[in-house]
Amino acid sequence: KQEVTQIPAALSVPEGENLVLNCSFTDSAIYNLQWFRQDPGKGLTSLLLIQSSQREQTSGRLNASLDKSSGRSTLYIAASQPGDSATYLCAVTKAAGNKLTFGGGTRVLVKP
Amino acid sequence: GAVVSQHPSWVICKSGTSVKIECRSLDFQATTMFWYRQFPKQSLMLMATSNEGSKATYEQGVEKDKFLINHASLTLSTLTVTSAHPEDSSFYICSAREGGVTQYFGPGTRLTVL
């Protein structure tokens, strides 16, 4: 059974610092991995999707890496801003169209 | 594009009553919809997967008679929490998929059972 873990569970940084969020999964046979953002009491916004054959994806200040063999992904957010404060979730899927298995999330607070 | 809505956004009900939550894909046809629940400060747990026109597939430990799922059209799925109790209070989120890989998530419904 796939298990997804995110460490740390919470993170507080001053504005301007780079953020590093970690995600690990136990079964390396994944189809893809996604990073999501969730604001309090809201739904999920997809940030980045990395296919199993890819090593990284970038979008603006966000960069996500994937090391499938070791079961790890890292989300980097450069030059953090207070607006980046949210919970970040990673999720993996085993095959195309299959269900997502989510990690527990990392709650991020960026202090002005 | 790819917008998913949920109604209501929040609901408060008395213990023992039933509550229906709607999930709609506004600008695409959702062949598959997923229902998740999320407890405070916890992650999303998949409850069930529903394909249009067929019975939902429930995850282990989810009571299908308590959480009734209907996916009667390509744009609408409903989750009915029957005989709700305080322990059913949670944040319920749906997602929809047109046929490819990407799931589009709704904004969630907060259920509080008194």
Per-residue pLDDT tens for A21-43? 999 999 999 999 999 999 988 88
B35-87 pLDDT, tens digit per residue, is 999 988 788 999 999 988 888 999 999 999 999 999 888 999 999 999 999 99
Q: Over 90: is that where the pLDDT of B102 sits? A: no
Q: Over 80: is that where the pLDDT of B97 sits? A: yes
Which distant-in-sequence residues (6+ apart) come within 8 Å of B51 by Cβ? B31, B32, B71
Q: Where are the beta strands (DSSP E) in A19-105?
A: 19-25, 32-38, 44-51, 56-59, 62-67, 72-77, 86-93, 100-102
Say if CB B96 and CB B35 are below 8 A apart. no
Residue range B19-38: average pLDDT? Answer: 93
In this prediction, residue B103 carries a pLDDT of: 86
Residue A89 forms contact with B (CB below 8 Å)? yes
DSSP B112: E
Best residue in A99, A107, A109 to probe B by mutation, most B CBs within 10 Å? Answer: A99
Residue range B25-43: average pLDDT? Answer: 90
Q: Which amino acid is at B82?
A: T
Say if CB A75 and CB A11 are below 8 A apart. no
Band the pLDDT of B9: cuts 50, 70, 90.
Answer: very high
DSSP A79: S
Residue range B80-108: average pLDDT? Answer: 91
Q: Cα distance from A1 to chain B (closest Cα, Å)? A: 12
In this prediction, residue A94 carries a pLDDT of: 87
Of A46, A93, A103, the CB nearest to B43: A103
CA distance B56 to A111: 44
Residue A102 forms contact with B (CB below 8 Å)? yes
Best residue in B103, B111, B112 to probe A by mutation, most A CBs within 10 Å? Answer: B103
Mark the ranges of chain A whose per-residue pLDDT is less than 70: 97
Is A31 exposed, middle or buried, given 0-12, 13-18 or 19+ CB atoms closer than 10 A? middle
In this prediction, residue A98 carries a pLDDT of: 76
Which chain A residue has its CA at the smallest distance from B5's CA?
A: A43
In this prediction, residue A39 carries a pLDDT of: 92
